[in-house]
Amino acid sequence: MDTALELFLALARLSTPPGQERAAIDLCREVLATIGIESDEDDAGSRIDGNAGNLYARIPGTVPGTPLFFNAHVDTVPPSAPIDPVERDGFIVNANDTILGADNKATVAGMIDGIRHVLREDIPHAGIELLITVQEEIGLRGAKEFDTDRLMAQVGFVYDVDGPPGRVVLRAPSQLSMNITFRGKAAHAGIAPEEGRNAIHAAAKMLADLEMGRLGTGSSRNVGLINGGSQRNIVPEACSLQLEMRSLDDAEVVKIALETVAAANAAAAATGCSVELAQTREYTAYGFADDAPVVALARTALLAAGCQPSMIETGGGADAHVFNERGFQCLNLSSGMEAIHSADEHIAVADVEALSRITVELIRAAVA
């Protein structure tokens, strides 16, 4: 596994849904050892019901400059079939009908290979840290459990947004999740329906009063799961929903959540049901100015790596949220992955190789 592509293919073959990343963490640690990098694994796995923790390594700098940390995750959304990566017309795809795992294993491979080039070629650097996280796909759990006091660098990069290499995320959203349960009263739907209180009706009434999908620039609301009822001829006594709300404006996402709560309470009152609500802040919006130093550093490196920089906003979450919320300057860059979380997921061979060059050029650009 002497190239980024070879390492990516090896990682992609491993089934590593959230909580089951052991094989990938072990492989990364083994590869790092072969290039002379000592790494250690934290105990996050035991704290978040997983079989592996986060992997961390630090390489002291050789010259003055800005130390950098690099972050990627090895978990994927659960595959529904074996992963057999193959090359077709310059792209890596899965021969089977499920995900490929370029999200985010291509980045893991590119970062490790880039660091390998820096060490083999004695490229001067101001200090490098590598953090490979677990359980990113289910709420950034590994990153949230990592002790960020261990990081010496205050500036970092995550490559975890789709599209060709060169895209730079300047703004990313807040996300709030909400679990809502309506509780009514069971009754026979034909003999005594008037004695029942229909929890599914309450849920439907709430949803009818709420707009879903895009709510304006940078904001959205979605109901993703509904569960309720026991049989067709029984008035359902319970109905549960799982929703999420996102916005590039944190005040706006709070407003959207308050509207959701108000609609739930109104629907419960109108149907004679009660309602229980639980809300969780998954992550908080962040943004960078176009001329911020970390953005300038990224532009310099991307151009040197042969990629055309473009500034974007995203509606997705990434480990970068955790680091920015904790006071670090962490920029999310695109990795070349396309159609993620689907059976059509793919990545160009050239883009896997570009991730290695980008890593090298970021490290070069950070030298004073």
pLDDT tens digits, 303-333 = 999 999 999 999 999 999 999 999 999 999 9
What residue ranges define each of the domains in the chain, with the CATH number in brackets?
A: 4-172+285-365 (3.40.630.10), 174-283 (3.30.70.360)
Partner residues linked to 346 by β-bridges? 93, 338
Residues 257-283 have pLDDT tens digits of 999 999 999 999 999 999 999 999 999
**pLDDT of 101 over the 80 cut:** yes
Amino acid at 67: P
Phi, psi of 213 (to 5 degrees): 85, -145
**pLDDT of 368 over the 80 cut:** no
- Mean pLDDT (the chain) is 97
Nearest C-alpha neighbor of 158 from the set 51, 32, 38, 286: 286
Decide if 190 contacts 199 (C-beta within 8 A).
no
Tell me the two tokens of residue 160. Answer: 């975890």
